[in-house]
Amino acid sequence: MISPQALRYVLPFLVFVAFLAGGSYIPVPDVWEYPLRVAVMAAVIWYFSRDVLDLRIRNWPGTIALGIGVFVIWVAPDALWPHYRESVLFQNQITGKIVSSVPEHLRSSLLVLVFRTIRATLIVPIVEELFWRAWMLRWIINPEFEKIQLGAYAPAAFWVTAALFASEHGPYWEVGLIAGIAYNWWMIRTKSLGDCILAHAITNGLLSGYVMFTGQWQYW
């Protein structure tokens, strides 16, 4: 049973996952699915999580550098070795296949591109950092997680969270693992939810631009 305190960190992530799992069943035209997701997620975050959402930045240069660095790590393997991700190590029955979540007929829609970018750059960093770094890193140390300071370090919590974060990214699990390690380390270093959200947002924002300008839709 998830406590009311934990719900403030966990519920937005659960709603986000529900959208991923059941998005095709939403009874609205495809082009309006993305604005609907953003609107619902924004409402959930505001209603349930606003009291624990601290967006103050403690280390602007380091956070910006980290966000850019994780983006480079994310795209570098495929850019340097074009057939790298065709290996069974990355695409298999466990990790799945690389498939874009944006249907081809929607890739020229300005409305879809704008709201898909908003979701990736604003919604996802908040949802995931609340769940992984602000909640899970502490909850693994002590289920009464609010007794644990943000950024507290324990080896099991650090590596389990990084591994689960990696598993969330399917065929991109290895760069997801590096990203999870990097964001975990930054939370421990800065003790700041805001810095982790900003770093994650920079990574996702750059990746969104990369997708739209290069046509590498597999990242979306």
User: Would you say residue 47 lies in a domain?
Assistant: no
HSE-CB at 15 with a 13 A cutoff on CA atoms is 23
Rounded Cα distance, 104 and 67, in Å: 28
User: Would you say residue 151 lies in a domain?
Assistant: yes
The residues that bridge with 216 in the sheet, in sequence order, are none
Nearest to 44 by CA among 114, 137, 126, 117: 126
User: Would you say residue 194 lies in a domain?
Assistant: yes
User: What is the domain extent for residue 102?
Assistant: 54-219
Helix 173-190 / helix 155-167 crossing angle, nearest 10 deg: 140
User: Would you say residue 9 lies in a domain?
Assistant: no
User: Would you say residue 133 lies in a domain?
Assistant: yes
Instruction: Read off φ and ψ for residue 98, nearest 5 degrees.
Output: -80, 115
pTM of the model: 0.95
User: Would you say residue 180 lies in a domain?
Assistant: yes
Question: pLDDT of the chain along its 220 residues, tens only?
Answer: 678 899 999 999 999 999 988 766 677 778 898 999 999 999 999 999 999 999 999 999 999 999 999 999 999 999 999 899 999 999 999 999 999 989 999 999 999 999 999 999 999 999 999 999 999 999 999 999 999 999 999 999 999 999 999 999 999 999 999 999 999 999 999 999 999 999 999 999 999 999 999 999 999 9
Q: What's the pLDDT at 23?
A: 64
Please give the full DSSP string across the chain, using - where no structure is assigned: ---HHHHHHHHHHHHHHHHHHHGGG-SS-HHHHHHHHHHHHHHHIIIIIGGG-----S-HHHHHHHHHHHHHHHHHHHHHSTTGGGSTTTSBTTTB----SS-GGGTT-HHHHHHHHHIIIIIHHHHHIIIIIIIIHHHTT-SSGGGSPTT---HHHHHHHHHHHHHTTGGGHHHHHHHHHHHHHHHHHH--HHHHHHHHHHHHHHHHHHHHHH--GGG-
Q: What's the pLDDT at 20?
A: 87
User: Would you say residue 21 lies in a domain?
Assistant: no
Rounded Cα distance, 209 and 17, in Å: 23
Rounded Cα distance, 111 and 147, in Å: 43
The CA dihedral of 201, 114, 103, 97, to the nearest 10 degrees, is -10
User: Would you say residue 23 lies in a domain?
Assistant: no
**Domain total of the chain:** 1
